[in-house]
Amino acid sequence: MGSSDDSSATIRVRHAGRQREIEPRVPWRERVEMLLLAALGVQAFLFFSEYWFFSTSRRSPILFWLLTLAVFWNPLRNLYNWWVYLWASHPLDLRRDGKEPPLGGRIADVLTTAMPGEPYPMFEATLEAVSRLEHLNKAYLLDGGDDPALRELCERLGVEHLDCRGVKGAKAGKVNLCLRERSRAEFVLVIDPDHIPRPDFLTRTLPWFEDPETGFVQVVQAYHNLRENWVAWGAAEQTFGFYGSTQMGLNGLGIPTAIGANCTFRRAALDSIGGHAEHLAEDALTSMRLHAEGWNSTYLPWRGSEGLVPTDLGTYWKQQLKWATGMSYLMFAEVPKLFRRFDPVARLHYVASSTYYLGGVAQALNLVLPIVCLLFQVYGVEMPLSGFLVHLAPYVLVSALMHAIAQRWYTHREEKGIPWRSMLLERATWHVHLLGFVFGAIGRKVPYLPTPKEGSDKPIPWLVAPHWAIILLSVLAILWVPVHYQRIDDGTWLMVFFAGLNSLLLLPAAWLGIRGWFPGFPSVEVAS
C-alpha cells in the first residue's frame, strides 16, 4: 500500500470550526417565507415564459425550440427544486413529541473499502476514528489489494481485515461479500476510506431506525479539504445545496436518497433487494431499489463525517463522468423497470434526479447555438437584449433570494455565500455531462474507479480543448458580426450577448486546465 514516504505523512484534517456548525430545523415561519417566495418565483417564471413564447420574436422553429431547451432547462429544474424545498424538514420536525427516539441498544458494523494505490495515512486516520465509534459492533476493512501494511494496521486497531482481491462489482461487491460471509449485525454503516467519522456517528443515526420500516439513515457528507483551491471549494459548494435544502426536502417527502460515502443501512433492507446494488451509480440505485421495495429513509442534517473532495479539474471531471454515466444509465435502464413500484413522489423524484445530466445537452446547445446563429446569420428568436434581460430579471432575482433563504438549512456557516465557484464549475463541466449522458444512453461501460484522493496540477489540454474551441469560436462569431453584417439587429445582439457570456464563464476552467504550462503564474487559492 503506497510508497514508504507515505507512511510518514499524515492526513491533514482542516476543521472549519465545529462551533460554527448548524443542525438546521425548519420553523413554520421559514416554511411560509419559502412558500411565498416560491409563489413569487412561479410568477416571475411565467412572466419570462410569456415573453419568450408569446412575443412576436420567434423565427426558425427548429432553432427556436433548441434554444428554448437551452434557456429553459435550468429554470424548469429550479421549479422542481423549489417544490422539494417546500417540504424541507429535520427528522425532529416530523415527530409529534419533537424528541429524538431512544437508541434501544442498537449496534452496527462498519464497512470500509480499500483499493490499491490509495494513501496509507488516509486509512490510518479513518480506521482510528472508526475503531473509536460508540455503539460499534465490529469494523471491517474490505481490501481490494490485500496490502500487508493495511493488514498490520487493522490488527493494531482491532479492525477485521478482509481480503477482497478479485471481487467484482467494485465497492458494492466487497460490501456484499462481507455481508454474506462475515458481518452479522442488524445495522451496517458503509463509509468511504477518506471519511473520518465522528465518535458519536452511530449514536446519532441508530435511534432513527426506531421505525421498523426505515431502511437507511443518511447524514451530511462534509469535506475537510475544501479550502485547498477553488476547484475543491466549487465541487464542495455543489453539494451544499444537496445536503442542505434538497435532502431535507426529500426527508419531508419521505425519500431522502442514500449517498455511498456514509450511509447506515438496515441489514434486512439490503437483504430484501439482494444486497447493495453493484453499479456505477450504486448509491442511487440502492436507494431506488429500497424505495421501490417500500422501505422508508431518514436524512439527518448533521455532519457525521468529513471526507475529501476533488481538488483538480481532471479528478473532478472523472468523478462527474462516473456519476453522469451512472445516472443516465439508470434513467434509461433502471428507472423504467422500477417505475411502477415507486410511489408517486418517488416516481417524480427519480425521474427528475436521473435526468439531471440531460443538462449536459442543454448546456452544449447553449454554447453552440449562439455561434451557429452568428456565423450563419440565422435566428431562433429576435428579441431585444434589453427585453430579454428585463423579463428574465425578476426570475433571476427570486431564484437568488430563494438560494439565499435555502442557505439557512446549510450545515455550516462557512457554506453560506454566493456560490460563484460552483456555478463556474458546473458550466465548465458541460462536456463531461454531455459525454456521460451519451455513454448512459448507448450503454457504454465506464470503468468504476474510486475517486482519486490526491490532486495534481498537471495540464489537461485535451480535457479543456472543447472549452477553448467554444471560446475561440464564440469570439470569432462575435467579431464576424461587424465585418459581415449589413445591419446589427435585436436577434444578433442577443446572440452576441450569449456568446460573450459563454466565453467569459468558460474562461476560468479553460485557463486552469493549461495553467501547468505557465509555471510563472500563481495558482488560484481560495481566500479564507
Partner 1 sequence: MIRVLRRSPIVSGIVGLVVLAAFYEVAVKAAARLVGEIWYRQVECRLVDDHASLVPPRGNRLWGMYRPEIPWNYQRYYTIADSLDIVPSLLSWYQAWGDGPDHEFKTDAVEKSTKAGLVSMVTWEPWLSAFHHGAVLDPESCMVHVARGEFDPYIRSWARAVVRSREPVLVRPMHELGNPWYGWSSPHGNSPRIQIEAWRHIVALFREEGARNAAFVWTPYDALDTLAWPGREWVDWIGLDIFNYGTMVPGGQWVDFKTLLDHQLEPVKQFGKPVILAEVGTTGFGGDRTDWWRDAFLALGNGSYPEVRAVVIFDNPACINSTGIPVDWGFSRAQGVLKTLRPLLGQAGFRRPGPGAESFSPI
Q: How far is CA 165 from CA 112, 446, 488, 514, in A?
A: 15, 20, 65, 38
Window 39-58: residues binding partner 1 (CB under 8 A): 39, 42-43, 46-47, 56
The answer to whether the beta carbons of residues 50 and 274 sit under 8 Å apart is no
The answer to whether 83 contacts partner 1 (rule: CB under 8 A) is yes
CB of 218 to partner 1, least distance (A): 19
Q: Give residue 323's region: left, alpha or beta (phi > 0; psi -120 to 50).
A: alpha
Size, binding site for partner 1 by CB under 8 A: 13
Between 348 and 372, name the residue whose CB sits nearer to partner 1. Answer: 348
Q: Which three cell numbers stand for residue 245?
A: 435544502
Spatial CA neighbour of 33 closest among 88, 79, 80: 88
In eight-state DSSP terms, residue 329 is H
Between 254 and 459, name the residue whose CB sits nearer to partner 1. Answer: 254
Q: What distance in Å separates the CA atoms of residue 302 and residue 411, rounded to the nearest whole number?
A: 7
CB of 36 to partner 1, least distance (A): 11
The answer to whether 390 contacts partner 1 (rule: CB under 8 A) is no
Binding segment toward partner 1, per CB under 8 A, in 186-194, 198-206, 341-349, 401-409: 341-349
The answer to whether 386 contacts partner 1 (rule: CB under 8 A) is no
Binding segment toward partner 1, per CB under 8 A, in 35-43, 225-233, 434-442, 443-451: 35-43
Three-state secondary-structure class, residue 336: helix
Q: Which of 253, 367, 464, 505 binds partner 1 (CB under 8 A)?
A: 253
Query: Percentages helix, strand, coil for the chain, rounded to the nearest 5?
Result: 60, 10, 30
Q: What distance in Å separates the CA atoms of residue 476 and residue 467, rounded to the nearest whole number?
A: 14
Binding segment toward partner 1, per CB under 8 A, in 36-44, 92-100, 154-162, 473-481: 36-44
The answer to whether 405 contacts partner 1 (rule: CB under 8 A) is no
Q: Which of 87, 201, 240, 388 binds partner 1 (CB under 8 A)?
A: 87
The answer to whether 340 contacts partner 1 (rule: CB under 8 A) is no
Q: Which of 273, 345, 524, 526 binds partner 1 (CB under 8 A)?
A: 345
**Side by side, which strands form the sheet with 196-197?**
160-163, 136-143, 108-114, 187-191, 262-266, 214-223, 296-307, 196-197
Between 125 and 346, name the residue whose CB sits nearer to partner 1. Answer: 346
CB of 42 to partner 1, least distance (A): 4
Contacts of 241 (CB under 8 A, 6+ apart): 403, 406, 410, 419
User: Footprint of partner 1 on this chain (CB under 8 A)?
Assistant: 39, 42-43, 46-47, 56, 83, 87, 253, 344-345, 348, 487
